[in-house]
Amino acid sequence: MTDNSDEITANLQRAETSIRAAKDMIEKGYYDIAASRAYYAAFYAPALYCSNKILTQTNIAELSHQSIAYL
């Protein structure tokens, strides 16, 4: 099993950044951009849980929309 704690940390940071950006865009009235940022926060959140499984138990070598859908 590989240690992918750096990737997990990076995905957590991406999710948090996307949430902050979504909130900022809502405050400014840019709802379409806020929705996009919220989508990516939702994409990165399961990645935190799934990244170890993706990288160690499947033949999917990197995190993508396909790999999240695969699980």
Q: How far, in Å, CA of 31 to CA of 27, rounded?
A: 9
pLDDT tens readout for residues 16-61: 899 999 999 999 999 999 999 998 888 877 766 665 555 555 555 5
| Global model pTM greater than 0.75 | no
Q: What's the domain range around 49? A: 5-70
From the list 62, 47, 53, 64, the residue with the least C-alpha distance to 13 is 47
Q: What is the dihedral of CA 21, 6, 54, 46, to 10 degrees?
A: -30
Q: What is the pLDDT of residue 2?
A: 53
Number of domains in the chain: 1
